Amino acid sequence: MGTTPEFGRRDLIKRAAAIGLIAVPTMSVLSACASGDSGGGNQVDKGEKSTKNPLAVNEGAALDVVIFDGGFGQQYAKDAEAEYQKAFPKAQVKHSATQEIQTQLQPRFNGGTPPDLIDNSGAKQMDMGTLVAKKQLTDLNALLDAPSYDDPSKKVRDTLRPGVVEMGQFDSDETWVLYYAYTVYGVWYSKTNLAKLDAQYPETWDDMLKVCEAAKKKGIAGWTYAGKYPYYLPFSLYPFIAKIGGVEVLKRIDNLEPNAWKDPAVKAAFDAYYELYKKGYILQGTPGLTHIESQTAWNEGKALFLPNGSWVENESKKTTPADFQMSVGAPSSLDKNDKLPFGTLWASGGEPFIVPKNARNPQGGMELLRLMLGRKSSQNFIKSVSSLTSLNGGTEGLTLPPGLASSQEVLAKAGKNVVNPRLGDWYVALQKEKIGVGALGEMMAGRLTPDEAITKIQRFADETAKDDSVKKYRHK
């Protein structure tokens, strides 16, 4: 994922974050990674502030960058680093890429020598809430208030898509995370494969079931998903809940409020998804599939629908047929009583970048992000990995691939009806290990009923709410 697959955010993110691989590290391990509150003593001297160097980067200081090597790869970052070196030719840039973010960087955080910029994504990302609570990150407001790369009359924050800045904030006005990608989550499908069934994307749940039944009669499954990493399911399930019951339902869930998961909208959404299992519309063997295996089966036409994020176009391109016409749909309407209209979907920042508090060259880390949010680097990212960036716009003059063009279309149709669940940002272990693997995956495999899954999830949420070792966050 781009943001890996994963909420990384993202990630539910965050993908989010969450380009799924294996288990997420536990809170205790992450706390060890983020221990301590000292910082700044090892930093290089600032450079001279100027119009071309608004963050006062030390022009000769080395820059140490670590990138998550997931659905977006790492070339986009290497390209931006090359631009940084053109701007600061005396600086040496060290580039590293890994899928083992937490494992590789924990010793460096513990030793007080973290990198200057980290793409903290993937299944093994560091827990963002813990890093913030332990005061291990640099406030990025200096970056956000700096002149944007292309237009010095605008601050960086004024060039970003709605909600991106807020995603990087937790319980104060400081901004600890900059989400670089902009991810559209939903139900992904092939226009070509639907056309073979004389069908279009179903805007109602009744029509969804009809399409799945028609597919079943032809030996095709309705749905598949990343069964080994079932925290992908919320990419379509959470906005479905919001559509049925309103945004406030998700906010109460994010806030860990008592009985938030027992809202009728949650029950209705779970019942609908469970019906896919009960009627045999899930691709056989899905609970044992990785994200890559489920995407490949989908590309091969074995299933019609796949809950995922917009990084899927780049991540699965090697197995996507040329005539696939990849598209994304917002959650179908359950019935006429839904609180929000069809078109409501989840879209938010993904691929979370952080500058550690103990970074040796934090100004350099922020300057690289400023450069990445310029038009040239943003368009390079868009062309290279078929995903939007958090720069508002940036697609002018580009020919977009089918999935990305579809993402733009559904975003435009959603208008203000875009939701952004924060549970996966604030409580990574709760979202991935407990809700995803421990309950949703079990329900979709038929091992829990919706009522049993809800009871289990509410217990998980209550345990987190009562755990004094877990920093709590709330919507403002």
What pLDDT does 41 receive? 63
Mean pLDDT of 46-53: 96
What pLDDT does 233 receive? 97
Distance CA 183, CA 179 (A): 10
Q: What percent of the chain has pLDDT over 90?
A: 81
Q: Which class does domain 7-183+347-409 fall in? A: alpha beta
Task: Give the pLDDT band (50/70/90) at residue 149.
Answer: very high
Dihedral (C-alpha) 137, 139, 144, 146: value to the nearest 10 degrees?
-110
What pLDDT does 163 receive? 86
What pLDDT does 130 receive? 86
Q: Which helix (H) or strand (E) holds 238?
A: helix 234-245
Instruction: Select from 465, 76, 39 the least CA-distant residue to 261.
Output: 465
Q: Who's near 36: CB < 8 A, 6+ residues apart?
A: 110, 112, 134, 136
Q: What is the pLDDT of residues 197-212, one digit of tens each?
A: 999 999 999 999 999 9
Domains of the chain by residue range: 7-183+347-409, 185-346
Q: DSSP letter at 378? A: H
Contact 142, 394 (CB under 8 A): no
Q: What is the pLDDT of residues 352-387, one digit of tens each?
A: 999 999 999 999 999 999 999 999 999 999 999 888
Q: What is the pLDDT of residues 2-28, one digit of tens each?
A: 434 333 333 333 333 332 322 333 333
Mean pLDDT of 176-186: 96
Residue 31 predicted with pLDDT over 70: no
What pLDDT does 66 receive? 98
Q: What is the pLDDT of residues 223-275, one digit of tens each?
A: 999 999 999 999 999 999 999 999 999 999 999 999 999 999 999 999 999 99
**pTM, entire model:** 0.82
Residue 180 predicted with pLDDT over 70: yes
What pLDDT does 25 receive? 36
Distance CA 12, CA 402 (A): 24
Q: What is the pLDDT of residues 262-308, one digit of tens each?
A: 999 999 999 999 999 999 999 999 999 999 999 999 999 999 999 99
Residue keyed to tokens 């994020």: 309
Distance CA 420, CA 422 (A): 6
Q: Which class does domain 185-346 fall in? A: alpha beta
Distance CA 315, CA 319 (A): 9
Instruction: Select from 334, 72, 346, 4 the least CA-distant residue to 188.
Output: 346
Residues 279-299 as b or e (16 or more Cβ within 10 Å = b)? eebbbeebbebebbbbbbbbb
What pLDDT does 150 receive? 95
Residues 45-78 as b or e (16 or more Cβ within 10 Å = b)? eebeeeeebbbbbbeebebbbbbbbbbbbbebbe
Q: What percent of the chain has pLDDT over 70?
A: 91
Instruction: Select from 454, 425, 427, 428 the least CA-distant residue to 439.
Output: 454
Distance CA 422, CA 126 (A): 16
What is the pLDDT of the chain when averaged over all its residues? 90
Q: Which residues pair with 8 in a beta bridge?
A: 10, 11
Q: Which of 36-40, 62-66, 362-366, 379-383 has the lowest mean pLDDT?
A: 36-40
Q: Identical fold at 7-183+347-409 and 185-346?
A: yes
What pLDDT does 124 receive? 85
What pLDDT does 403 receive? 96
Task: Map residue 296 onto helix, strand or coil.
Answer: helix
Q: What is the pLDDT of residues 407-422, one digit of tens each?
A: 999 999 999 999 999 9
Q: Give the chain's radius of gyration (CA, Å).
A: 21
Task: Map residue 353 onto helix, strand or coil.
Answer: strand
What pLDDT does 37 receive? 41
Contact 376, 83 (CB under 8 A): yes
Distance CA 13, CA 184 (A): 11
Angle in degrees, 0-180, between the axes of helices 264-278 and 247-254, rounded to the nearest 10? 100
What pLDDT does 172 receive? 83
What pLDDT does 11 receive? 38
Q: DSSP letter at 385? A: H
What pLDDT does 39 receive? 45
Task: Give the pLDDT band (50/70/90) at residue 59.
Answer: very high
Quote helix, strand, coil % in the chain, to nearest 5: 40, 15, 45
Structure token digits, residue 325:
């016409």
Mean pLDDT of 339-361: 96
Residue 219 predicted with pLDDT over 70: yes
